[in-house]
Amino acid sequence: MAKQKTKFCCQECGYESAKWLGKCPGCQAWNSMVEEIETVIKTQGIGSSLLQTKEKPVPIIDIESTREPRIDTNNRELNRVLGGGIVPGSLILVGGDPGIGKSTLLLQTSFALTANKLRVLYISGEESARQTKLRADRLAAASPDLYVLCETNFEHIQAAIDEVKPDFLVMDSIQTVYHPAISSAPGSVAQVRECTAHFMRIAKVKGIATVLVGHVTKEGAIAGPRLLEHMVDCVLYFEGERHHTYRLLRAVKNRFGSTNEIGIFEMSEGGLTEVNNPSELFLSERPVGASGSAVAASMEGTRPVLVELQALVASTNFPSPRRMSAGFDHNRLSLIIAVLEKRIGLVLQSQDVYLNVAGGVKLDEPAVDLAAAVSIASSFRDYPVEPDVVVFGEIGLTGEVRGVSRIDQRVKEAQKLGFKRVIMPEKSLKGWTPPSQMDIVGVTTVSEALAAAMR
């Protein structure tokens, strides 16, 4: 017989309490404690037969070292983010805002995998089979090896997996699945945690590459307990605005590859298409001869990307000036403004400063500091930066320009797009031969960089 008891569980972090609390002690969230009925079953447990393996501990030196095989998705951008392809038996979590293109990308990927003679099971808990077929017709993604199931009961899903025996599994979305042995509602912490654990067991024991789609909160984080991200092997975030055509796929966790890679896609009537040259995309609408604009060379994983930084400096109407940034760290912006005031002599204490990374890209690399400083100074002086100049370098608190890595890749990307001059740290010039067609300007201070960019 099952014994029931009541508990209160935080829907943000999974903290459990015997009584209701207005504020969660775990994550400090208000009104997040929801009553749930906990069922304690004195048996082997749900799905325990799936884990009846009796392996013994062995010395690590006796374990054979083999490279994990990869499944080619026929999508270079997705392969780049995943670290070269999908690893069989891996559990991948994909999150993003509603309507950003998660289901579109996964349906396209499922169809591409069927071309490699793989069997794919696409489970939808939010759409009917007819709706999924309409999307597949629009994307031209119909194949006899692509199976569609509209189900939210985990026991029925497990039976379908045993029947189809897929090589690739998609669950859209994990918040809609429920296990009948757990009395809480679908989407609750208990249901999300247990269903994810069962999907993980299926993926590891049967070697099925599994993708879970996760809803996001209004802050942009994946809904449910933080434990959800710790259980999976890879966490991918879809970024971008719904009203723009391009999308960014970023890996924030990857046990089989780098976490700094991004994939860039463009949304069209036929679905998501790869963007082979993202730098050209981000610079396509760059204004010519406008002050406050500077081009930076940033590294996103192993890929160099040229992006435009736009700054606007205007007189403030408030007692304290405003500092706002989009795609750039706000604290880093305040640091750069302080350096420009103290070391360069720009009087910005009575000016509002707005900094924007054109294209909706989020930059967190210190190498874009110098381009941000140049764009702010250009807007403050109302003097444009030369259009054929690329700027990159890290700024120190004393006004020095510090060296950065992967200089050759940044310069080659600038040369490919037709830029003639590169302003970079002088310390990074050692041990590297610049191309003869490019004018390389090495600087040691921010003042030297401003003089070279706005001569």
pLDDT in tens, 333-364: 999 999 999 999 999 999 999 999 988 788 88
Among 242-246, 263-267, 338-342, 400-404, the minimum mean pLDDT is found in 242-246
Cα–Cα distance measured from residue 424 to residue 443, given in angstroms and rounded to the nearest whole number: 6
Do residues 266 and 293 share a domain? no
CB 200 within 8 A of CB 191: no
Q: What is the mean pLDDT of residues 420-432?
A: 91
Cα–Cα distance measured from residue 171 to residue 38, given in angstroms and rounded to the nearest whole number: 25
Do residues 269 and 329 share a domain? no
Name, in order, each residue with C-beta under 8 angstroms of 365's C-beta and a sequence gap of 6 or more.
Answer: 298, 299
Cα–Cα distance measured from residue 11 to residue 189, given in angstroms and rounded to the nearest whole number: 6
Do residues 272 and 287 share a domain? no
Is 366 annotated among the ligand-binding residues?
no
The reported pLDDT for the residue numbered 371 is: 96
The reported pLDDT for the residue numbered 216 is: 79
Is 222 annotated among the ligand-binding residues?
no
Is 435 annotated among the ligand-binding residues?
no
Q: What is the pLDDT of residues 169-226, one digit of tens each?
A: 999 989 999 999 887 788 888 888 889 999 999 999 999 999 999 887 766 666 666 6
Per mean pLDDT, which of 176-190, 229-243, 245-259, 418-432 is the most reliable?
Answer: 418-432
Q: What percent of the chain has pLDDT over 70?
A: 92
Do residues 30 and 170 share a domain? no
Do residues 163 and 34 share a domain? no
Q: Which position has the higher pLDDT, 244 or 22?
A: 22
The reported pLDDT for the residue numbered 43 is: 45
Do residues 16 and 103 share a domain? no
Instruction: Count Cβ atoms below 10 Å from residue 186 Cβ, excluding itself.
Output: 17
**Last residue of a domain, which of 214, 249, 276?**
276
Q: What is the pLDDT of residues 366-392, one digit of tens each?
A: 999 999 999 999 999 999 999 999 999
Do residues 196 and 332 share a domain? no
Do residues 301 and 178 share a domain? no
For residue 301, the number of C-alpha atoms closer than 13 Å in the C-beta half-sphere is 19
Is 292 annotated among the ligand-binding residues?
no
Among 122-126, 136-140, 284-288, the minimum mean pLDDT is found in 284-288
Report residue 10: phi and psi, to 5°.
Answer: -75, 130
Is 143 annotated among the ligand-binding residues?
no
Helices (H) and strands (E) in the chain, counts: 11, 21
Do residues 222 and 103 share a domain? yes
Residue 48 has pLDDT above 60, yes or no: no
The reported pLDDT for the residue numbered 98 is: 86
Is 96 annotated among the ligand-binding residues?
yes
Q: What is the mean pLDDT of residues 86-90?
A: 94
Do residues 12 and 122 share a domain? no
Q: What is the pLDDT of residues 290-337, one digit of tens each?
A: 999 999 999 987 889 999 999 999 999 888 999 999 999 999 999 999
Is 364 annotated among the ligand-binding residues?
no
Q: How deeply is 312 buried, as exposed, middle or buried, from its count of CB atoms within 10 A (0-12, 13-18, 19+)? A: middle
CB 96 within 8 A of CB 216: yes
The reported pLDDT for the residue numbered 452 is: 94
**Last residue of a domain, which of 226, 245, 276?**
276
Q: Which CATH number belongs to the domain containing residue 449 in this structure?
A: 3.30.230.10
> What does pLDDT average to over the chain?
88
Q: Which CATH number belongs to the domain containing residue 269 in this structure?
A: 3.40.50.300
Do residues 169 and 225 share a domain? yes
Read off the DSSP letter of residue 39: E
Is 103 annotated among the ligand-binding residues?
yes
User: What domain range is 15 assigned to?
Assistant: 3-40
